[in-house]
Protein backbone atom coordinates (compact mmCIF):
# COMPACT_ATOMS: atom_id res chain seq x y z
CA UNK A 1 0.00 0.00 0.00
CA UNK A 2 1.38 3.40 -0.99
CA UNK A 3 0.29 6.33 1.17
CA UNK A 4 -0.30 9.54 -0.74
CA UNK A 5 -0.35 13.19 0.19
CA UNK A 6 -2.00 15.11 -2.65
CA UNK A 7 -1.41 18.85 -2.90
CA UNK A 8 -3.85 20.48 -5.28
CA UNK A 9 -6.41 17.68 -5.14
CA UNK A 10 -9.32 19.64 -6.64
CA UNK A 11 -7.48 20.64 -9.82
CA UNK A 12 -7.36 18.71 -13.07
CA UNK A 13 -4.28 16.62 -12.12
CA UNK A 14 -5.43 16.10 -8.52
CA UNK A 15 -8.82 14.76 -9.64
CA UNK A 16 -7.09 12.37 -12.05
CA UNK A 17 -4.83 11.14 -9.23
CA UNK A 18 -7.88 10.38 -7.10
CA UNK A 19 -9.59 8.65 -10.01
CA UNK A 20 -6.57 6.34 -10.26
CA UNK A 21 -6.69 5.78 -6.48
CA UNK A 22 -10.36 4.74 -6.90
CA UNK A 23 -9.40 2.32 -9.67
CA UNK A 24 -6.70 0.69 -7.49
CA UNK A 25 -7.93 0.94 -3.89
CA UNK A 26 -5.72 -1.99 -2.85
CA UNK A 27 -2.63 -0.05 -4.01
CA UNK A 28 -3.10 3.48 -2.70
CA UNK A 29 -4.33 5.17 0.44
CA UNK A 30 -4.84 8.93 0.79
CA UNK A 31 -3.35 10.48 3.94
CA UNK A 32 -3.51 14.19 3.13
CA UNK A 33 -5.46 16.37 0.71
CA UNK A 34 -4.97 20.02 0.00
CA UNK A 35 -6.74 22.56 -2.18
CA UNK A 36 -6.97 26.31 -2.48
CA UNK A 37 -10.62 27.16 -1.87
CA UNK A 38 -12.78 24.74 -3.83
CA UNK A 39 -14.61 23.63 -0.68
CA UNK A 40 -17.47 21.59 -2.23
CA UNK A 41 -15.13 19.39 -4.27
CA UNK A 42 -12.62 19.02 -1.42
CA UNK A 43 -15.40 18.09 1.04
CA UNK A 44 -16.60 15.36 -1.36
CA UNK A 45 -13.06 14.05 -1.74
CA UNK A 46 -12.58 13.96 2.05
CA UNK A 47 -15.79 11.95 2.52
CA UNK A 48 -14.70 9.51 -0.12
CA UNK A 49 -10.99 9.09 0.66
CA UNK A 50 -10.81 9.77 4.45
CA UNK A 51 -7.46 11.59 4.69
CA UNK A 52 -5.93 12.34 8.10
CA UNK A 53 -5.39 15.99 7.24
CA UNK A 54 -6.93 18.48 4.84
CA UNK A 55 -5.45 21.86 4.00
CA UNK A 56 -6.97 24.97 2.44
CA UNK A 57 -5.76 28.44 1.52
CA UNK A 58 -6.80 30.50 4.56
CA UNK A 59 -8.68 30.57 7.86
CA UNK A 60 -11.99 31.50 6.23
CA UNK A 61 -11.76 28.57 3.80
CA UNK A 62 -10.87 26.27 6.73
CA UNK A 63 -14.02 27.43 8.58
CA UNK A 64 -16.13 26.81 5.47
CA UNK A 65 -14.63 23.34 5.10
CA UNK A 66 -15.43 22.54 8.76
CA UNK A 67 -19.09 23.44 8.24
CA UNK A 68 -19.20 21.47 4.99
CA UNK A 69 -18.05 18.37 6.90
CA UNK A 70 -20.54 17.56 9.62
CA UNK A 71 -18.63 14.41 10.56
CA UNK A 72 -15.20 16.06 10.50
CA UNK A 73 -14.02 14.72 13.87
CA UNK A 74 -10.80 12.80 13.39
CA UNK A 75 -9.53 14.95 10.54
CA UNK A 76 -7.13 17.83 11.05
CA UNK A 77 -8.11 20.88 9.04
CA UNK A 78 -5.16 23.19 8.48
CA UNK A 79 -4.60 26.27 6.36
CA UNK A 80 -2.00 28.51 4.75
CA UNK A 81 1.65 27.87 3.99
CA UNK A 82 2.16 26.05 7.30
CA UNK A 83 -0.70 23.74 6.44
CA UNK A 84 0.58 22.99 2.94
CA UNK A 85 4.05 22.30 4.33
CA UNK A 86 2.51 19.95 6.92
CA UNK A 87 0.72 18.03 4.15
CA UNK A 88 3.94 17.90 2.10
CA UNK A 89 5.92 16.42 5.00
CA UNK A 90 3.13 14.30 6.54
CA UNK A 91 4.71 11.47 8.54
CA UNK A 92 2.68 8.65 6.98
CA UNK A 93 3.03 9.79 3.33
CA UNK A 94 5.23 7.65 1.04
CA UNK A 95 4.68 9.81 -2.02
CA UNK A 96 3.78 13.49 -2.18
CA UNK A 97 1.91 14.54 -5.31
CA UNK A 98 2.57 18.24 -5.95
CA UNK A 99 -0.21 19.28 -8.31
CA UNK A 100 -0.95 22.81 -7.22
CA UNK A 101 -0.85 25.54 -9.85
CA UNK A 102 1.86 28.18 -10.06
CA UNK A 103 4.50 29.50 -7.70
CA UNK A 104 2.45 28.20 -4.75
CA UNK A 105 4.00 24.79 -5.48
CA UNK A 106 7.56 25.80 -4.57
CA UNK A 107 7.55 25.82 -0.76
CA UNK A 108 5.59 22.54 -0.37
CA UNK A 109 8.00 20.90 -2.85
CA UNK A 110 10.94 22.05 -0.73
CA UNK A 111 9.15 20.82 2.43
CA UNK A 112 8.63 17.38 0.89
CA UNK A 113 12.29 17.24 -0.16
CA UNK A 114 13.42 18.29 3.34
CA UNK A 115 11.19 15.58 4.85
CA UNK A 116 12.82 13.03 2.46
CA UNK A 117 9.54 12.22 0.73
CA UNK A 118 9.53 11.02 -2.85
CA UNK A 119 7.65 13.43 -5.08
CA UNK A 120 5.36 13.05 -8.08
CA UNK A 121 5.74 16.52 -9.53
CA UNK A 122 3.12 18.10 -11.75
CA UNK A 123 3.96 21.65 -10.71
CA UNK A 124 6.56 22.95 -13.15
CA UNK A 125 6.88 26.36 -11.52
CA UNK A 126 8.81 24.96 -8.53
CA UNK A 127 11.60 23.86 -10.88
CA UNK A 128 11.35 26.96 -13.06
CA UNK A 129 11.77 29.23 -10.04
CA UNK A 130 14.29 27.36 -7.95
CA UNK A 131 15.20 24.22 -9.89
CA UNK A 132 18.85 24.22 -8.86
CA UNK A 133 18.15 24.22 -5.13
CA UNK A 134 15.23 21.75 -5.43
CA UNK A 135 17.40 19.27 -7.39
CA UNK A 136 20.46 19.79 -5.19
CA UNK A 137 18.48 19.19 -1.98
CA UNK A 138 16.69 16.21 -3.54
CA UNK A 139 20.03 14.61 -4.41
CA UNK A 140 21.36 15.26 -0.91
CA UNK A 141 18.25 13.72 0.70
CA UNK A 142 18.00 10.86 -1.82
CA UNK A 143 14.56 12.00 -2.86
CA UNK A 144 13.25 10.76 -6.22
CA UNK A 145 11.36 13.33 -8.25
CA UNK A 146 9.01 11.61 -10.69
CA UNK A 147 7.70 13.95 -13.36
CA UNK A 148 3.96 14.06 -14.06
CA UNK A 149 4.26 16.59 -16.86
CA UNK A 150 3.61 14.34 -19.89
CA UNK A 151 6.71 15.45 -21.83
CA UNK A 152 9.01 14.98 -18.86
CA UNK A 153 7.45 11.65 -18.03
CA UNK A 154 8.14 10.66 -21.65
CA UNK A 155 11.78 11.80 -21.43
CA UNK A 156 12.17 10.02 -18.08
CA UNK A 157 10.79 6.82 -19.62
CA UNK A 158 13.02 7.13 -22.72
CA UNK A 159 16.17 7.67 -20.65
CA UNK A 160 15.28 4.78 -18.32
CA UNK A 161 17.67 1.84 -18.73
CA UNK A 162 20.25 3.97 -20.59
CA UNK A 163 23.37 5.69 -19.34
CA UNK A 164 22.87 9.41 -18.87
CA UNK A 165 26.31 10.12 -20.33
CA UNK A 166 25.15 8.58 -23.63
CA UNK A 167 22.31 11.10 -23.94
CA UNK A 168 22.74 13.46 -26.87
CA UNK A 169 19.56 15.51 -27.10
CA UNK A 170 16.00 15.90 -25.84
CA UNK A 171 13.20 16.57 -28.31
CA UNK A 172 10.43 18.28 -26.35
CA UNK A 173 7.23 18.00 -28.34
CA UNK A 174 4.50 20.67 -28.33
CA UNK A 175 1.04 20.44 -29.86
CA UNK A 176 1.31 24.10 -30.85
CA UNK A 177 -1.97 24.88 -29.09
CA UNK A 178 -5.21 26.18 -30.61
CA UNK A 179 -3.57 29.07 -32.53
CA UNK A 180 -0.80 27.21 -34.36
CA UNK A 181 -2.22 28.12 -37.76
CA UNK A 182 -3.92 31.39 -36.87
CA UNK A 183 -2.74 34.24 -39.13
CA UNK A 184 -0.46 36.77 -37.42
CA UNK A 185 -2.90 39.69 -37.50
CA UNK A 186 -5.63 37.85 -35.58
CA UNK A 187 -3.82 37.26 -32.31
CA UNK A 188 -5.09 40.40 -30.57
CA UNK A 189 -8.70 39.30 -31.17
CA UNK A 190 -8.25 36.07 -29.18
CA UNK A 191 -10.75 35.73 -26.32
CA UNK A 192 -10.17 33.70 -23.12
CA UNK A 193 -12.72 31.09 -24.25
CA UNK A 194 -10.75 30.56 -27.51
CA UNK A 195 -7.51 30.08 -25.56
CA UNK A 196 -9.15 27.63 -23.15
CA UNK A 197 -10.25 25.43 -26.02
CA UNK A 198 -7.16 23.23 -26.49
CA UNK A 199 -7.35 20.90 -29.52
CA UNK A 200 -5.86 17.77 -27.86
CA UNK A 201 -5.42 18.06 -24.11
CA UNK A 202 -7.99 18.70 -21.38
CA UNK A 203 -6.22 20.83 -18.78
CA UNK A 204 -6.71 23.54 -16.15
CA UNK A 205 -7.33 27.19 -17.15
CA UNK A 206 -3.87 28.62 -16.49
CA UNK A 207 -1.99 25.86 -18.31
CA UNK A 208 -4.43 26.00 -21.24
CA UNK A 209 -3.58 29.67 -21.78
CA UNK A 210 0.13 28.84 -21.33
CA UNK A 211 -0.25 26.20 -24.05
CA UNK A 212 -1.89 28.73 -26.36
CA UNK A 213 0.97 31.24 -25.91
CA UNK A 214 3.61 28.43 -25.95
CA UNK A 215 4.81 29.72 -22.56
CA UNK A 216 3.98 26.26 -21.28
CA UNK A 217 6.64 24.84 -23.60
CA UNK A 218 9.09 27.52 -22.53
CA UNK A 219 8.54 26.65 -18.86
CA UNK A 220 8.98 23.00 -19.80
CA UNK A 221 12.38 23.70 -21.38
CA UNK A 222 13.54 25.19 -18.06
CA UNK A 223 11.91 22.28 -16.19
CA UNK A 224 13.68 19.70 -18.41
CA UNK A 225 17.03 21.44 -18.04
CA UNK A 226 16.78 21.11 -14.23
CA UNK A 227 15.20 17.66 -14.05
CA UNK A 228 17.58 15.96 -16.44
CA UNK A 229 20.68 18.05 -15.74
CA UNK A 230 21.26 18.99 -19.39
CA UNK A 231 22.25 22.23 -21.09
CA UNK A 232 19.68 24.39 -22.86
CA UNK A 233 21.40 23.56 -26.16
CA UNK A 234 20.55 19.89 -25.65
CA UNK A 235 16.80 20.62 -25.69
CA UNK A 236 14.96 21.15 -28.96
CA UNK A 237 11.29 22.10 -29.06
CA UNK A 238 9.42 20.41 -31.91
CA UNK A 239 5.83 21.21 -32.88
CA UNK A 240 3.90 17.97 -33.22
CA UNK A 241 0.19 18.79 -33.64
CA UNK A 242 -1.08 15.20 -33.21
CA UNK A 243 0.23 14.99 -29.59
CA UNK A 244 0.94 11.28 -30.00
CA UNK A 245 4.71 11.45 -29.45
CA UNK A 246 4.95 12.84 -25.92
CA UNK A 247 8.70 13.54 -26.30
CA UNK A 248 11.88 11.86 -27.52
CA UNK A 249 15.55 11.57 -26.66
CA UNK A 250 18.52 10.80 -28.88
CA UNK A 251 21.72 9.08 -27.84
CA UNK A 252 25.27 9.56 -29.07
CA UNK A 253 24.96 6.67 -31.55
CA UNK A 254 22.09 8.47 -33.32
CA UNK A 255 19.38 6.24 -31.85
CA UNK A 256 16.16 8.05 -30.98
CA UNK A 257 13.75 6.74 -28.36
CA UNK A 258 10.23 8.15 -28.25
CA UNK A 259 7.34 7.60 -25.86
CA UNK A 260 3.93 7.51 -27.52
CA UNK A 261 0.41 7.35 -26.22
CA UNK A 262 -3.01 8.94 -26.50
CA UNK A 263 -3.12 12.53 -25.19
CA UNK A 264 -4.49 11.73 -21.73
CA UNK A 265 -2.67 12.82 -18.57
CA UNK A 266 -3.63 9.62 -16.77
CA UNK A 267 -0.73 7.66 -18.31
CA UNK A 268 1.94 10.01 -16.97
CA UNK A 269 0.16 10.44 -13.63
CA UNK A 270 -0.23 6.70 -13.06
CA UNK A 271 3.40 6.03 -14.01
CA UNK A 272 4.62 8.54 -11.42
CA UNK A 273 2.28 6.99 -8.82
CA UNK A 274 3.35 3.39 -9.40
CA UNK A 275 6.93 3.72 -10.74
CA UNK A 276 8.74 1.44 -11.58
CA UNK A 277 5.61 -0.67 -12.04
CA UNK A 278 2.93 0.06 -14.62
CA UNK A 279 -0.73 -0.02 -13.65
CA UNK A 280 -3.33 -1.83 -15.77
CA UNK A 281 -5.00 1.46 -16.75
CA UNK A 282 -6.93 0.01 -19.68
CA UNK A 283 -6.06 3.07 -21.76
CA UNK A 284 -6.26 2.41 -25.50
CA UNK A 285 -3.09 2.68 -27.60
CA UNK A 286 -3.06 5.35 -30.31
CA UNK A 287 -5.03 4.19 -33.34
CA UNK A 288 -2.07 4.47 -35.71
CA UNK A 289 -3.78 3.62 -39.00
CA UNK A 290 -6.55 6.10 -38.25
CA UNK A 291 -4.01 8.82 -37.30
CA UNK A 292 -2.05 8.03 -40.49
CA UNK A 293 0.60 10.74 -40.29
CA UNK A 294 2.75 12.10 -37.51
CA UNK A 295 4.17 15.51 -38.42
CA UNK A 296 6.90 17.69 -36.91
CA UNK A 297 7.82 21.32 -37.49
CA UNK A 298 9.93 24.12 -36.02
CA UNK A 299 8.19 26.49 -33.58
CA UNK A 300 7.62 30.08 -34.77
CA UNK A 301 9.08 32.26 -32.02
CA UNK A 302 8.01 35.47 -33.82
CA UNK A 303 4.39 34.44 -33.66
CA UNK A 304 4.80 33.01 -30.15
CA UNK A 305 7.18 35.43 -28.39
CA UNK A 306 6.61 33.77 -24.98
CA UNK A 307 8.77 30.88 -26.11
CA UNK A 308 11.65 33.23 -26.95
CA UNK A 309 11.25 34.98 -23.58
CA UNK A 310 11.47 31.62 -21.80
CA UNK A 311 14.60 30.66 -23.79
CA UNK A 312 16.17 33.95 -22.70
CA UNK A 313 15.24 33.37 -19.03
CA UNK A 314 16.62 29.84 -19.29
CA UNK A 315 19.89 31.16 -20.73
CA UNK A 316 20.37 33.84 -18.06
CA UNK A 317 19.02 31.73 -15.19
CA UNK A 318 19.45 33.07 -11.63
CA UNK A 319 16.36 35.13 -10.67
CA UNK A 320 15.12 35.65 -14.24
CA UNK A 321 13.10 32.41 -14.62
CA UNK A 322 11.21 33.27 -11.41
CA UNK A 323 10.48 36.74 -12.82
CA UNK A 324 9.32 35.27 -16.14
CA UNK A 325 7.05 32.86 -14.31
CA UNK A 326 5.57 35.45 -11.91
CA UNK A 327 4.91 38.00 -14.67
CA UNK A 328 3.31 35.25 -16.74
CA UNK A 329 0.99 34.22 -13.88
CA UNK A 330 -0.16 37.82 -13.41
CA UNK A 331 -0.58 38.45 -17.15
CA UNK A 332 -2.49 35.21 -17.73
CA UNK A 333 -4.84 35.95 -14.80
CA UNK A 334 -5.47 39.46 -16.23
CA UNK A 335 -6.15 37.99 -19.67
CA UNK A 336 -8.62 35.48 -18.20
CA UNK A 337 -10.40 38.39 -16.49
CA UNK A 338 -10.58 40.22 -19.84
CA UNK A 339 -8.34 43.00 -18.50
CA UNK A 340 -5.66 42.64 -21.18
CA UNK A 341 -5.47 41.20 -24.68
CA UNK A 342 -3.75 37.97 -25.68
CA UNK A 343 -0.87 39.86 -27.30
CA UNK A 344 -0.43 41.93 -24.14
CA UNK A 345 0.65 38.77 -22.29
CA UNK A 346 4.18 38.58 -23.82
CA UNK A 347 4.46 42.40 -23.75
CA UNK A 348 3.88 42.51 -19.99
CA UNK A 349 6.32 39.64 -19.38
CA UNK A 350 9.00 41.18 -21.60
CA UNK A 351 8.76 44.59 -19.89
CA UNK A 352 8.82 43.02 -16.43
CA UNK A 353 11.94 41.02 -17.35
CA UNK A 354 13.59 44.10 -18.80
CA UNK A 355 12.94 46.13 -15.63
CA UNK A 356 14.39 43.41 -13.40
CA UNK A 357 17.92 43.51 -12.01
CA UNK A 358 19.12 39.91 -12.01
CA UNK A 359 20.59 38.83 -8.66
CA UNK A 360 23.82 36.88 -8.99
CA UNK A 361 24.21 33.65 -7.01
CA UNK A 362 20.67 34.12 -5.67
CA UNK A 363 19.55 32.52 -2.41
CA UNK A 364 16.04 31.11 -2.07
CA UNK A 365 15.16 34.40 -0.35
CA UNK A 366 16.38 36.36 -3.40
CA UNK A 367 14.24 34.16 -5.67
CA UNK A 368 11.12 34.67 -3.56
CA UNK A 369 11.83 38.38 -3.47
CA UNK A 370 12.19 38.46 -7.28
CA UNK A 371 8.88 36.59 -7.54
CA UNK A 372 7.11 39.18 -5.32
CA UNK A 373 8.74 42.08 -7.15
CA UNK A 374 7.75 40.72 -10.57
CA UNK A 375 4.12 40.22 -9.52
CA UNK A 376 3.86 43.83 -8.42
CA UNK A 377 5.75 45.12 -11.45
CA UNK A 378 3.55 43.16 -13.87
CA UNK A 379 0.39 44.31 -12.08
CA UNK A 380 1.58 47.95 -12.27
CA UNK A 381 2.37 47.55 -15.98
CA UNK A 382 -1.14 46.16 -16.55
CA UNK A 383 -2.64 49.13 -14.69
CA UNK A 384 -0.60 51.57 -16.83
CA UNK A 385 -1.64 49.69 -19.95
CA UNK A 386 -5.31 49.97 -19.03
CA UNK A 387 -5.00 53.67 -18.23
CA UNK A 388 -3.30 54.23 -21.61
CA UNK A 389 -5.86 52.21 -23.53
CA UNK A 390 -8.77 53.98 -21.80
CA UNK A 391 -7.17 57.34 -22.66
CA UNK A 392 -6.68 56.28 -26.28
CA UNK A 393 -10.30 55.14 -26.44
CA UNK A 394 -11.47 58.44 -24.93
CA UNK A 395 -9.36 60.38 -27.43
CA UNK A 396 -10.85 58.38 -30.25
CA UNK A 397 -14.38 59.12 -28.99
CA UNK A 398 -13.56 62.87 -28.96
Contact set with Mg ion (CB under 5 A): 149-151
207/348 with CB nearer Mg ion: 207
Question: How far is residue 190's CA from residue 184's CA, in Å, rounded to a whole number?
Answer: 11
- Min. distance of Cβ 13 from Mg ion in angstroms? 11
- Min. distance of Cβ 190 from Mg ion in angstroms? 21
Secondary structure (H, E, C), the chain:
CEEEEEECCCCHHHHHHHHHHHHCCCCEEEEEEECCCCHHHHHHHHHHHCCCEEEECCHHHHHHHHHHCCCCCCCEEEEHHHHHHHHHCCCCCCEEEECCCHHHHHHHHHHHHHCCCEEEECCCHHHHHHHHHHHHHHHHCCCCEEECCHHHHHHHHHHCCCCHHHEEEEEEEECCCCCCCCCHHHHHHCCHHHHCCCCCCCCCHHHHHHHHHCHHHHHHHHHHHHHHCCCHHHEEEEECCCCCEEEEEEECCCCEEEEECCCCCHHHHHHHHHCCCCCCCCCCCCCHHHHCCCCCECCCCCCCHHHHHHHHHHHHCCCHHHHHHHHHHHHHHHHHCCCCCCCHHHHHHHHHHHCCCCCCCCCHHHHHHHHHHHHHHHHHHHHHHHHHHHHHHHHHHC
216/344 with CB nearer Mg ion: 216
43/224 with CB nearer Mg ion: 224
Beta strands at 235-239 and 167-174: parallel, antiparallel or unpaired:
parallel
125/149 with CB nearer Mg ion: 149
- Min. distance of Cβ 290 from Mg ion in angstroms? 24
125/151 with CB nearer Mg ion: 151
- Min. distance of Cβ 168 from Mg ion in angstroms? 22
- Min. distance of Cβ 272 from Mg ion in angstroms? 13
Answer for the pair 57, 79: CB distance below 8 angstroms, yes or no: yes
- Min. distance of Cβ 332 from Mg ion in angstroms? 16
- Min. distance of Cβ 149 from Mg ion in angstroms? 4
177/305 with CB nearer Mg ion: 177
- Min. distance of Cβ 306 from Mg ion in angstroms? 15
What φ, ψ does residue 34 adopt, rounded to 5°? -140, 145
21/174 with CB nearer Mg ion: 174
192/204 with CB nearer Mg ion: 204
- Min. distance of Cβ 246 from Mg ion in angstroms? 8
Contacts of 324 (CB under 8 A, 6+ apart): 128, 218, 309, 310, 313, 349, 353, 374
- Min. distance of Cβ 29 from Mg ion in angstroms? 28
Contacts of 305 (CB under 8 A, 6+ apart): 346, 350
Answer for the pair 306, 345: CB distance below 8 angstroms, yes or no: yes
235/381 with CB nearer Mg ion: 235
Residue sitting closest to Mg ion (CB): 149
97/115 with CB nearer Mg ion: 97
Amino acid sequence: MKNLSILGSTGSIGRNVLEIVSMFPERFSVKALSAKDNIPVLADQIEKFHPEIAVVFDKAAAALLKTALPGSAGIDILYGEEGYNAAASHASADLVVVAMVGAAGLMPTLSAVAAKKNIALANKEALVMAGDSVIEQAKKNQVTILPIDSEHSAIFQCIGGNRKEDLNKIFLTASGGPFLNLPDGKFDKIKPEDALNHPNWKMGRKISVDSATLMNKGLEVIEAKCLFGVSKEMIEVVIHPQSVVHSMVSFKDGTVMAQLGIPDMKGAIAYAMSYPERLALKQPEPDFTRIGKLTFEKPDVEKFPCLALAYHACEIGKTLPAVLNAANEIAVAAFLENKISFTNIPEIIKKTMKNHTVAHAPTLGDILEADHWARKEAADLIKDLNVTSIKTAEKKRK
